[in-house]
Amino acid sequence: MAYYQGVLTIICVNLMCVMGVSLLTGFTGIFSFGHAAYMAIGAYTSAIVVGRLGMPFVIGLIAAAAAAALASFVIGYPTLKLVGDYFAIAALGFGEATRLILDNGGDITGGARGFVGVPKHTTLSIALLIVALGVVLMRNILNSRFGRSFVAIREDRLAAEAMGIDTSRFRMMALAISAAYAGVGGSMFAHYLTYLQPVMFDLNKSTEMAATVVFGGLGSLTGSVVACVLLTTIPEVFRPFYLWRMVFYGLALVSTIVLRPQGLLGTYELTFERLKKVVSACPLKARFDRRGGGLTGGPESGGGRSCRY
Amino acid sequence: MPVLELSKVTKRFGGLTAVSEFDLRLEEGELVGLIGPNGAGKTTVFNLITGMYAPTSGTIRFLGEDIHGKKPHQIARRGIARTFQNLRLFRNLTALENVAVARQMECRYSFVEAALRTGRFRAEEKRVREESLELLHLVGLGGKAYEKARNLPYGYQRKLEIARALALRPEVLLLDEPAAGMNPEESLSLMEFIQDIQERFGVTIFLIEHHMEVVMGICSRILVLNFGCTIAEGTPEEIQANPEVIKAYLGEVQE
């Protein structure tokens, strides 16, 4: 039982991080291979604030989000001017640098030996609560003018600029929100494991987050969530075949890229309106109110909506 | 006071002078054409007006205010909207969303209000949605509101880009070769569409066109650009009769 709870909690941790990357990569079109760094910053900040300073867990979560967002400003301000692959590489460098700083942090971070004695606060119910809140907030942001601006930037940055969108500011905003999500994920992680080591937040972790978002479908929050649940579960399911489990993980990724380049769900989103439609399609409830969705809803809209719900 | 005034605007890229001492005065409600052969610097003029390039020298005044050094998004918000020569729609967004992205510039809800979906957020979103739909209906794209931009026929995509620019409620609308890739018949119907829009929205239009014939019918005034220099300016009749223009388009007559 504790094992399943543990897996579910880790899924929640990963979900927070992946949702952040989804906003940045899937919706704003900025690739980052350094997001483990924001997770690490959140984890260590929370560990210090709660573990050393004795603050409550809630303060730890907020501090983690704030610290990660702050770090994203420091790194994003000079590097977000870079476009395409160059930002991804800069982010990768930032990720590795952060890990090495934590490695050499002496007594503050515990160095390579790790940070021990983080108080245990992340129970499954708390983790689920945070994730639920995270999903709702993210969905709301994506369905607002902010979300539309992010997607417009992904689609065509120059045209977005010509339509009055301050693309530099919105790119920074996307990075900051995404870092804050990863920071919260890190904090949850720290208070679940009660123990931190810089090596947990290496390039593999960053790549895993980016891969999950691509796997689920760029521009689909639902896709990111589904992919995260699958990709966290697959290695656990294949745990008995210890040496083979990363092979299955890789196989799942490669087959998606070959068979479904748009990702598992493409840009499809599961929405309340769609759920309602399924319900109203049932014979008993045939007269259920069939209202169209939001901006992209309506009778003519087929599948694969882009940023609404 | 002219709506838009460019005086002695020059743009150099290294040793190449793309636009040289360009002058322009757009009065309110005018429909002015900018024509010229390939590579004459027409699009560069647009990029200078919209802030995508900074001029090497000269001044650009919009409603009496110098807009030098302003970023493209600031200029767009001030009231100069544009379309692009090679369509730059948000291809994976629906027609409605394309327009909404521009229309939402007047939204007043904050980030927190969006995250919490407050009453004001809902009201503002509803307004954006309704105004965007209305605009789509006005340009004849009402039935295509929920189609993805990339799935629309080419002619509709051109119209959608114009609708998106109109959604900014601009004072000045810059159209960069709106009839590019269209046959003469389609071009003609598009020109009627543009004329119609100008009357209905009372917007000042400055448009680039590669084909002389299409602008002749609708523009009150035409500027001809060649190698970055204005070689002629006047009514369509004057332009058609101008030997410099004929030379630029057809080459010099061998004596």
Closest to B111 (Cβ–Cβ): which among A146, A155, A305?
A146
State which residues form the domain around B122: 88-167
Same domain, B248 and B174: yes
CA separation for the pair A16, A20 (Å, rounded): 6
Q: Is residue A293 part of a domain?
A: no
CA separation for the pair A61, A47 (Å, rounded): 10
Beta-strand pair B221-226/B31-35: parallel
Say if residues A152 and A38 touch (Cβ distance below 8 Å): no
Q: How confident is the model over B22-26, as a mean pLDDT?
A: 94
How far is the alpha carbon of B252 from chain A, nearest alpha carbon, in Å? 39
Same domain, B177 and B72: yes
Using CB atoms within 10 Å of the CB of residue B85, give its burial: 0 to 12 exposed, 13 to 18 middle, 19+ buried: middle
Same domain, B163 and B194: no
In tens, the pLDDT along A97-108 reads 999 999 998 888
Return the structure tokens found at A255: 């087959």
Same domain, B174 and B217: yes
State residue A302's pLDDT score.
Answer: 38
Residues written for chain B: 255
| Confidence tier at B255 by pLDDT (50, 70, 90) | low
State residue B174's pLDDT score.
Answer: 96
CA separation for the pair B165, A223 (Å, rounded): 32
CA separation for the pair A117, A113 (Å, rounded): 13
Do A146 and B168 lie within an 8 Å CB cutoff? Answer: no
For residue A191, count other CB atoms closer than 10 A to its CB: 26
* Domain of residue B185, CATH code: 3.40.50.300
Same domain, B103 and B153: yes
Same domain, B154 and B175: no
In tens, the pLDDT along A32-77 reads 999 999 999 999 999 999 999 999 999 999 999 999 999 999 999 9
Do B114 and A145 lie within an 8 Å CB cutoff? Answer: yes
Number of A:B CB contacts under 8 A? 120
Same domain, B188 and B73: yes
Do A144 and B114 lie within an 8 Å CB cutoff? Answer: yes
For residue A126, count other CB atoms closer than 10 A to its CB: 17
Say if residues B76 and B50 touch (Cβ distance below 8 Å): yes
Q: How confident is the model over B195-208, as a mean pLDDT?
A: 92
Question: How many folded domains does chain B comprise?
Answer: 2
User: Which residue, B116, B144, B167, sits at the end of a domain?
Assistant: B167
| Confidence tier at A291 by pLDDT (50, 70, 90) | very low
Beta-strand pair A195-196/A115-116: antiparallel
Handedness of CA A233, A236, A237, A242 (dihedral sign): positive
Closest CA to A225 of A28, A39, A32, A16: A16
Helix (H, G, I), strand (E, B) or coil at B12: strand
User: Which residue, B167, B199, B231, sits at the end of a domain?
Assistant: B167
Return the structure tokens found at A224: 């990111």
Closest to A306 (Cβ–Cβ): which among B73, B81, B93?
B93
Do B125 and A308 lie within an 8 Å CB cutoff? Answer: no
Handedness of CA B233, B239, B244, B246 (dihedral sign): positive
| Confidence tier at B253 by pLDDT (50, 70, 90) | low
CA separation for the pair B55, B78 (Å, rounded): 19
Chain B interface test: which of A136, A145, A150, A273 (most B C-beta within 10 Å):
A145
Same domain, B50 and B114: no
Task: Record the pTM.
Answer: 0.89
Return the structure tokens found at B211: 């084909």
The reply to whether B72 touches chain A by the CB within 8 Å rule is yes
Q: What is the DSSP string of A97-147?
A: HHHHHHHT-TTTT-GGG-EE-PPP---HHHHHHHHHHHHHHHHHHHTSHHH
Percent of chain B with pLDDT over 90: 71
State residue B90's pLDDT score.
Answer: 96
Closest to A152 (Cβ–Cβ): which among B94, B101, B114?
B101
User: Which residue, B167, B196, B223, sits at the end of a domain?
Assistant: B167
Do B94 and A144 lie within an 8 Å CB cutoff? Answer: no
Closest to A145 (Cβ–Cβ): which among B89, B107, B115?
B107
Residue type, A110: G
How far is the alpha carbon of A235 from chain B, nearest alpha carbon, in Å? 34
CA angle A215, A141, A155 (to 5 degrees): 55
In tens, the pLDDT along B115-143 reads 999 999 999 999 999 999 999 999 999 99
Same domain, B100 and B151: yes
Which residues are bridge partners to B26 per DSSP? B4
Chain B residues lying within 8 Å of A145, measured CB to CB: 104, 107, 109, 114, 125, 128
Same domain, B138 and B209: no
Residue with tokens 């900018």: B34
A155, pLDDT greater than 70: yes
In tens, the pLDDT along B57-68 reads 999 999 999 998
Q: Which residues 42-61 of B have a C-beta within 8 angstroms of A?
A: 50, 52
Same domain, B158 and B190: no
B188, pLDDT greater than 60: yes
**DSSP class of residue A48?**
I
CA separation for the pair A44, A47 (Å, rounded): 5
The arrangement of strands across the sheet holding B204-209 comes to: B80-82, B172-176, B204-209, B31-35, B221-226, B229-234
The reply to whether B120 touches chain A by the CB within 8 Å rule is no
Closest to B114 (Cβ–Cβ): which among A141, A160, A300?
A141
Helices (H), A217-308: 221-237, 245-259, 272-281
State which residues form the domain around A83: 2-213
State residue A183's pLDDT score.
Answer: 98
Chain B interface test: which of A168, A262, A268, A295 (most B C-beta within 10 Å):
A295
Q: Is residue A258 part of a domain?
A: no
Question: How many folded domains does chain A comprise?
Answer: 1
CA separation for the pair B255, B252 (Å, rounded): 9
Same domain, B237 and B188: yes
Chain B interface test: which of A144, A166, A168, A291 (most B C-beta within 10 Å):
A144
In tens, the pLDDT along A190-206 reads 999 999 999 999 998 99
Residue with tokens 């947990």: A200
